[in-house]
Amino acid sequence: MQLVFATNNKNKIKEIKSLLPDSLEILSLDDINCSEDIPETSDTITGNALQKAKHVFDNYGYNCFADDTGLEIEAINGEPGIYSARYAGEQKSAEDNMDKVLTNLKDQTNRKAHFKTVIALIIDGKESLFEGVAEGEITETKSGAEGFGYDPIFKPEGYNTTFSEMSLDEKNGISHRGKAVQQLINYLM
């Protein structure tokens, strides 16, 4: 089976490909010559995932899936949420985003947070949704060299290391995206 993954994020593509069986061929947006910036104008993670998948299906005719992920931090009213990628500005810098989170939490003792991923799948016009959540907390400093995004400051519940200090396999076994992808695989297989 062939599916387009509606993202330009090479880190997400690598992470997803490592989880999927070889029987699923994943095409990127580059593979289908989709170079435009797909709009994300919904006020929910689910809405943004659906919007991206619909864009690819409606404009390119491919069966596809898209994900949207948000980091939601309790002490700052669920921020950055749907603005996770551009929390510190349109430059979408992971370093700037993490610095802004750490600054906003500087005097907070409540560092509870969770990552939420929603995957929207469209096959032959039929939409399906899959959701994964990883509970944890925001660390006081960045730690680790693996992963991407907020991984260096997110410590999952029950672990003493950040996502960024884990191997890809270890992270995928417990992460929000890993959980949502497992549901997707179960559905497709």
Residues belonging to the active site: 68
Are the beta carbons of 101 and 80 closer than 8 angstroms?
Answer: yes
Name the β-bridge partners of 135.
114
CB burial string 96-109: b at 16+ within 10 A, e below: ebbebbeebbeeee
Q: From CA 43, how far away is CA 83, in angstroms rounded?
A: 9
144 exposure class (CB count in 10 Å sphere: 0-12, 13-18, 19+): middle
Residue the block writes with tokens 């899936």: 65
